[in-house]
Amino acid sequence: MDATTPPRTPARKAPRGRNPRGQGERLRAEIIDTALRLLDELGDDQTLSLRAVAREVGIAATSVYIHFADRDTLVLAALEHCHEDLLRAVDTAESGAGDPVAALRARTTLLGAWSREHPGLYKVLHESTLNRRSAMSFKEDMATRTTTAIRRCMDTGLVPRGDADTVSLDLRTAVHGAVSLRVNHPESAWPPLDEQVERFLVKLVGVPPLGA
């Protein structure tokens, strides 16, 4: 996976038979994958039902309850799984970069690309009622890694020194704002997201413009 290829949610599956005894984790994974696909299509955790997930997987609704007590439990587990995949994708993008600035650009570009590819999941992660009811502490890992990436740029003298936490907050706020506007108002004539993200990196972090 390169810096512009976001992780994808699973394709729709045909009805399946019963898993052999001892393969409960496999069924749990299938339920999570199906929930992620439906959440991406719906863009709203409140419209997701456990019966719908069970129907898509091809099992009885009672089989879902064996693994997840209620809808919120399933949605949180699915989002945490999605977030872990996204973290790994960001790590892969950064690992191929030649210096800290290139790594920061790679991670920010990938996050923008993922949000563009999965607007429904983006809304559930950041704008859903569940997001307001639950802390979703697993999301803190992404913020921390962004701050660390910015601090590396500062420590190596590639960008002006400053308060890495504040710069990280400003950058994340700008990127999320740009993505949210596109997700909620797709009919507007927005500039290319990659170009806008690059301007954020230059103006808010102080990275040298591409080609400079």
Is residue 95 in a domain? yes
Q: State yes or no: pLDDT of 49 exceeds 50.
A: yes
The number of folded domains in the chain is 1
**Domain range for residue 118?**
24-205
Is residue 135 in a domain? yes
- Do 195 and 135 contact (CB within 8 A), yes or no? no
Average pLDDT, the chain: 89
Is residue 3 in a domain? no
Q: Which residue has better confidence, 18 or 68?
A: 68
* 21 secondary structure, DSSP code: T
Residue 78's contacts (CB-CB under 8 Å, 6 or more residues apart) are 32, 35, 36, 39
Distance of CA 178 to the CA centre of its chain: 15
Is residue 11 in a domain? no
- Range 128-154 burial, b when 16+ CB lie within 10 A, else e: bebbeeeebeeeeebeebbbebbbbbb
Is residue 212 in a domain? no
Q: State yes or no: pLDDT of 41 exceeds 70.
A: yes
pTM above 0.85, yes or no: no
Asked which of 38-47, 132-141, 146-155 is least confident by mean pLDDT, the reply is: 132-141
Residue 211 pLDDT: 76
